């Protein structure tokens, strides 16, 4: 595999999809012994979309991908690789990228799944960029999609986590282009991080082979609710603010830019207070930050591409703008990207 000189990746299509059924905070009040007031004050979330019936993660991904492909204006048969970021796959294996590939009727093309949770889209973007620059692929479909609602503890015991998450998908199509020089490239720079010593601060233990000598999933594990997410909210909050702001500062510095050079910030959507804090620490004016958490909750790997699609539709994100993205999530993983849309 040779490095292809000035070959660069460019995002040419963006799409998103959320299932139609809306659950407001009021809908959750009885179920989860929570309140609209608590959820809005602590997180900024007003509502989330949850699937109904026989809908899996790759089904949401199909819809987002179709919009992204249509916006890209390419024949879907020209896509030669799928990267699928999710923590809520259709099945343990094979990866949801394979299910998506079959549903899109694209037999034979490469299909990756990546497991970086809320940072999945940033990791995926960095991977897609590198794979296109290297010359290995020409048109990559990068998708972040989640169905959280089928994996949440919807009893009062699970309220600290379950009110936060929504279902949804976002997708982008990236294509190879010949850049005249570095300034002519669209994806400027990424940086990626992880610290596995915090893995158990936000995780789902079962099913898994790391649960002692027993099978991957047992009635006892389910009794202990090990198949539901566990989160140390305060710990995650603290590290999210630190991780996102440090990563973004590093990326901007390496690119010889400041926050003033950025037209729009698309942050991961875990908590409005996290994004406000990052903005405050970095001196970013709040009208430059595009948040969607009010409408969708935390859709994990899908938050950033959903935000891109909504910002485009709202006329907030326009061609030629400089955009900075940052995310933090389970792993812990975190990272950022600076690009020109
Ligand atoms: O996508 C990346 C992963 N996730 C995150 O980045 C999330 C990061 N963490 C957070 O956003 C916040 O920590 C939460 C929103 C999850 C929680 O906010 P907090 O201000 O850290 O609340 P807390 O966990 O310290 O709980 C405060 C109180 C507790 O009651 P007591 O002990 O003070 O009586 C909780 O039992 O709020 C209670 N509580 C709730 N009350 C109503 C926790 N969850 C709920 C709820 N409804 N859903």
Q: Do 186-340 and 7-178 have the same topology in CATH?
A: yes
The question of whether 98 is a catalytic residue gets the answer: no
d(CA 140, CA 8): 12
Q: What angle do CA 288, 293, 296 make, to 5 degrees?
A: 135
CATH architecture of 186-340: 3-Layer(aba) Sandwich (3.40)
Residue to probe by mutation, ligand 1, list 148, 237, 239, 327, most atoms within 8 Å of CB: 237
Q: Tell me: domain 7-178, CATH 3.30.930.10, correct?
A: no
To test the pocket of ligand 1, the residue of 160, 202, 232, 239 to mutate (highest count of ligand atoms within 8 Å of its CB) is 160
Question: Ligand 1: distance of its center to the CA of 233 in Å?
Answer: 6
Nearest ligand 1 atom to alpha carbon 202: 3
Measured in Å, residue 160 CA sits from the centre of ligand 1 at 5
Instruction: Please say if 211 is a catalytic residue.
Output: no
Domain boundaries, the chain: 7-178, 186-340
Name the residue with tokens 């975190």. 334
Write down the catalytic residue from 81, 118, 148, 239: 118
pLDDT tens-place values along the chain, 341 residues long: 344 568 999 999 999 999 999 999 999 998 999 999 999 999 999 999 999 999 999 999 999 999 999 999 999 999 999 999 999 999 999 999 999 999 999 999 999 999 999 999 999 999 999 999 999 999 999 999 999 999 999 999 999 999 999 999 999 999 999 988 767 778 889 999 999 999 999 999 999 999 999 899 999 999 999 999 999 999 999 999 999 999 999 999 999 999 999 999 999 999 999 999 999 999 999 999 999 999 999 999 999 999 999 999 999 999 999 999 999 999 999 999 999 99
247 ligand 1 Cβ < 6 A: no
């Amino acid at each position: 595999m040779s490095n292809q000189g000035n070959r660069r990746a460019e995002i040419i299509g963006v799409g998103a999809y959320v299932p139609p059924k809306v659950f407001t905070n009021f809908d959750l009040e009885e179920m989860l012994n929570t309140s609209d007031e608590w959820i809005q004050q602590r997180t900024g979330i007003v509502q989330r979309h949850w699937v109904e019936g026989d809908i899996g993660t790759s089904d949401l991904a199909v819809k987002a991908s179709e919009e992204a492909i249509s916006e890209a204006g390419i024949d879907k048969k020209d896509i030669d690789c799928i990267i699928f970021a999710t923590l809520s796959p259709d099945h343990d294996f094979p990866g949801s990228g394979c299910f998506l590939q079959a549903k899109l009727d694209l037999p034979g093309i490469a299909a990756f799944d990546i497991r970086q949770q809320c940072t999945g889209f940033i990791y995926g973007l960095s991977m897609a960029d590198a794979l296109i620059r290297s010359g290995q692929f020409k048109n990559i479909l990068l998708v972040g999609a989640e169905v959280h609602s089928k994996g949440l503890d919807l009893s009062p015991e699970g309220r600290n986590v379950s009110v936060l998450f929504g279902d949804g998908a976002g997708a982008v199509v990236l294509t190879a282009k010949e850049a005249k020089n570095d300034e002519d490239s669209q994806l400027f720079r990424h940086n990626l991080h992880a610290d596995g010593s915090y893995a158990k601060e936000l995780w789902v233990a079962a099913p898994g082979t790391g649960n002692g000598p027993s099978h991957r999933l047992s009635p006892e594990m389910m009794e202990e609710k090990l198949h539901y997410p566990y989160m140390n909210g305060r710990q995650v909050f603290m590290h999210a603010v630190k991780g996102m702001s440090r990563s973004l500062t590093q990326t901007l510095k390496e690119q010889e830019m400041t926050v003033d050079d950025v037209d729009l910030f698309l942050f991961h959507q875990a908590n409005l207070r996290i994004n406000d804090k990052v903005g405050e620490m970095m001196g970013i004016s709040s009208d430059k930050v595009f948040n969607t958490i009010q409408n969708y909750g935390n859709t994990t790997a899908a938050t950033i591409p959903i935000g891109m699609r909504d910002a485009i539709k709202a006329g907030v994100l326009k061609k030629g703008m400089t955009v900075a993205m940052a995310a933090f999530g389970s792993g812990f993983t975190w990272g950022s990207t600076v690009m020109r849309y």
